[in-house]
Structure 1
Amino acid sequence: MRNKKAPHISVAIDCIVFGFDGSDMKLLLIQRGFDPERNKWSLMGGYVDEDESVDAASGRILENLTGLSGVYLEQLHTFGSVKRDTNERTISITYFALIDIAKYKQQLSADYHAEWFPVNNIPKLIFDHNEMVEMAKKRLQYKAALHPVVFELLPEKFTLPQIQSMYDAIYEVNFDKRNFSRKLLSTGLLIKLNEKDKMGSKKGAFYYTLDKDKYEENLFKIFSLIITPDHLQF
């Protein structure tokens, strides 16, 4: 039996970029600049070159389209439905990124009309990109319960209201303010700083920073108190 000729299948990267602006979770989208689906909203995407790995391609594509570099990127899933791309047979490897919007606000490229949208109010996206976003949201909820990577969404120093707002936004719930703060502080994993954020009130709120050494030693301690199984969807 003769060997079949290998089919031509393109490999693409799509990046789901989550950001936190201090109160709301956001998703970074661009307007597609070519047919099909020209000018429609899309995730950051591009093709993998023959001489690069998929991880290298994800970083290159994200930087080319947005100006962002050195951000947290993690591979999510491979989408390979036969007719997912109306142009040609394309397999897409998705990555999600977590950034502090304030830190990277000035780096965004204007060339591709990149714009932040509230995660719970995004427009209809091209192809299967809405499905990708939903999967990424569930993975983010899972990671938020088990891993410190979600602190990539926060500045190095943050207040208790900021961190609660982040978790409220990730899980789309309103955690009880008093219980959340009490349980969070009881872990001993936050370092209280001798300075306040007075933007919200005259009294102000103390800044904290994460004790990363203790966090690595007690990976599940903080969220076993705060996050219940009902909140985990992945």
Structure 2
Amino acid sequence: MQRYTGQKRILVATDCIIFGFDGWNLKLLLVQRNIEPEKNKWSLMGGFIQPSESPEDAANRVLELRTGLKNVYMEQFQVFGKPDRDPVERTLSIAYFALIDIHQYEQQISDEYHAEWFLLKDVPELIFDHNEMVKLAQRQLRYKAALHPILFQLLPEKFTIPQLQALYEGVYNTTFDDRNFSRKLLSTGLLVKLAEKDKFSSKKGAFYYKLDQSHYTENFERFLNLVPNPDKFF
């Protein structure tokens, strides 16, 4: 087989930044690294890309192997390639972020790698450049969420407006005005009000809503105004 001469080996890995929402809090899923260096320290889900795999195939394989999760929303967002990012060998990492509803997948999380959910404000020191990956993934998530309703990937099929507001506040690390948020949200035309109420959060209860998939394409741009002054978050 023909090879390029005079070139040195560079490994290529993939790392997954997995964001989850439990109904009120945005969280990050981490595992304890099981090899040296940095063994037993907290890490993103990662692994090397095999010769027969595309980066997306490898990301899905690593995700399922380490967490038991599959068929989740995942998106490539950046390549990390500083020469000294991995102390063992020169390694590039193609990073993806994933969005999941924690309650939908909580029974699938594998115990083998000690996967654990962390509040974003409580994320520990991670191996290598993984803290930087998380920071940039948050920035990308904010950017995408300001353009279209990507955050619905983190919600169950039915949800309340307070839950959706809590999700947006968690993503943008800010507080929105309740009335303005509700008014802008309902004006998008993307929500269908259900007769059922959530009785667990308050005595009065909050009506459940669901996403109107039939009008998603024609109305998704109306989410552009849901986040006030989105530029200040980037």
Indicate the TM-score class for this superposition, using the shorter chain for normalisation: over 0.9
Which stretches in structure 2 are left out of the alignment for 5+ residues? Answer: none
Q: Quote the sequence identity (%).
A: 58
CA displacement, residues 110-151 of structure 1 (integer Å, 9 cap, x when unaligned): 000000001122000000000000000000101111122211
Q: Which residue of 1 aligns with 2:24?
A: 23
Which stretches in structure 1 are left out of the alignment for 5+ residues? Answer: none
Q: Which residue of 2 aligns with 1:70?
A: 71
Asked if the contact 1:15/1:95 (under 8 Å) is kept, the reply is yes
Q: Which residue of 2 aligns with 1:229?
A: 230
Instruction: Kindly state the Cα deviation for residue 185 of structure 1 after the two structures are TM-superposed.
Output: 1.3
Moved more, 128-137 or 208-217: 208-217
Q: Which residue of 1 aligns with 2:166?
A: 165
Instruction: Kindly state the Cα deviation for residue 219 of structure 1 after the two structures are TM-superposed.
Output: 2.2
Q: Which residue of 2 aligns with 1:56?
A: 57
CA displacement, residues 205-227 of structure 1 (integer Å, 9 cap, x when unaligned): 10001112323112221331443
Q: Give me the TM-score of the superposition, normalised by structure 1.
A: 0.95
Asked whether 1:209 is paired with 2:210, we answer yes
CA displacement, residues 23-61 of structure 1 (integer Å, 9 cap, x when unaligned): 111000000001000000000000001111111000000
Q: Which residue of 2 aligns with 1:218?
A: 219
**SS of 1:193 mapped into structure 2:** strand
**SS of 2:121 mapped into structure 1:** coil
For residues 35-184 of structure 1, the aligned pairs below 5 Å read 35-184=36-185
Q: Distance in 2 between matches of 1:225 and 1:108?
A: 33
Instruction: Kindly state the Cα deviation for residue 6 of structure 1 after the two structures are TM-superposed.
Output: 2.3
Q: Distance in 1 between matches of 2:66 and 2:127?
A: 17
Q: Distance in 2 between matches of 1:225 and 1:199?
A: 27
CA displacement, residues 47-105 of structure 1 (integer Å, 9 cap, x when unaligned): 00111111100000000001001101100100111010001111000000000000000
Moved more, 84-93 or 221-230: 221-230
Opposite residue 43 of structure 1, the aligned amino acid is: L
Q: Give me the TM-score of the superposition, normalised by structure 2.
A: 0.95
Instruction: Kindly state the Cα deviation for residue 203 of structure 1 after the two structures are TM-superposed.
Output: 1.6
Asked if the contact 1:11/1:91 (under 8 Å) is kept, the reply is yes
Q: Which residue of 2 aligns with 1:194?
A: 195
Q: Distance in 2 between matches of 1:8 and 1:153?
A: 39
Opposite residue 103 of structure 1, the aligned amino acid is: Q
Opposite residue 194 of structure 1, the aligned amino acid is: A
Asked if the contact 2:189/2:219 (under 8 Å) is kept, the reply is no
**SS of 1:125 mapped into structure 2:** coil
Q: Distance in 2 between matches of 1:156 and 1:34?
A: 39
Equivalent pairs counted in the alignment come to 231
Q: Distance in 2 between matches of 1:114 and 1:170?
A: 21
Opposite residue 31 of structure 1, the aligned amino acid is: Q
Asked if the contact 1:19/1:153 (under 8 Å) is kept, the reply is yes
**SS of 1:220 mapped into structure 2:** helix
Asked if the contact 1:68/1:107 (under 8 Å) is kept, the reply is yes
Instruction: Kindly state the Cα deviation for residue 189 of structure 1 after the two structures are TM-superposed.
Output: 1.7
Opposite residue 39 of structure 1, the aligned amino acid is: N
Instruction: Kindly state the Cα deviation for residue 231 of structure 1 after the two structures are TM-superposed.
Output: 4.3
Q: Which residue of 2 aligns with 1:13?
A: 14
Moved more, 199-208 or 99-108: 199-208
Question: CA RMSD for the aligned pairs?
Answer: 1.2
Asked if the contact 2:146/2:230 (under 8 Å) is kept, the reply is no
Q: Distance in 1 between matches of 2:56 and 2:97?
A: 12
